[in-house]
Amino acid sequence: MSRFISTAICALFVCSICSTEASAAGNATKGKAVYDANCTACHATGIGGSPKLGDKVAWAPRIKQGEAVLTTHAIKGFKTPGSTGMAMMPKAGKPTLSDADIANATAYIVKSSK
Ligand code: HEC
């Protein structure tokens, strides 16, 4: 069991290195097109409690988590505990988007919202 845990922690560590790199490489310029095509329906309007693009107050506590966490949430889906609003669906419900597309779109959102 503890072997499993240390393997898991190790995998997590390695992954966190990859995802830090991935999000460091999250390219806001490339992300704009991904955002425009896939994220505006919610993040431009604020529908269902979606944090709006450019809303610094809504994004500040989220951005504090770090871009890698935000990217993971956007890839895997996320709902603020206790929230009665909508959830962020995994990859915005578009499984054809690559992890890099999501990282780029997230980088664009973060850049535009702080
Ligand atoms: C169908 C509506 C919808 C679409 C489309 C959508 N989102 Fe979201 N997103 C949400 C909602 C709602 C939340 C807030 C969830 C919560 O905090 O409970 C959210 C939250 C997020 C967060 C913050 C996660 C966190 O940890 O606070 C990120 C990052 C994000 N979305 C990225 C994206 C990206 C990138 C796209 C486009 C590829 C996208 N979203 C498309 C509804 C949407």
| CA of residue 75 relative to chain centroid, distance | 6
Task: For ligand 1, atom 39, name the residue with the nearest CA.
Answer: 39
Q: How many domains does the chain have?
A: 1
Question: What would the two tokens of residue 87 be?
Answer: 């959830």
CA distance 17 to 101: 18
Confidence of residue 114 (pLDDT cuts 50, 70, 90): very high
Look up the domain containing 95 and give its range: 2-112
CA distance 45 to 85: 14
In the reported structure, the alpha carbon of residue 27 is separated from the centroid of ligand 1 by a whole-number distance in angstroms of 18
Task: For ligand 1, atom 10, name the residue with the nearest CA.
Answer: 88
Q: What is the pTM (predicted TM-score) of this model?
A: 0.85
pLDDT of residue 23: 43
Instruction: Tell whether the model's pLDDT for residue 19 goes beyond 60.
Output: no
CATH of the domain at 105: 1.10.760.10
Instruction: Tell whether the model's pLDDT for residue 109 goes beyond 70.
Output: yes
Q: Which long-range contacts (CB under 8 A, 24 or more apart) does 14-17 make?
A: 16/68
Task: For ligand 1, atom 8, name the residue with the nearest CA.
Answer: 88
Confidence of residue 79 (pLDDT cuts 50, 70, 90): very high
pLDDT, average across residues 97-106: 98
Q: Which residues line ligand 1 (CB under 6 A)?
A: 34, 38-39, 41-43, 48-51, 62, 65, 70, 73-74, 78-80, 83, 85-88, 92, 102, 105-106, 109
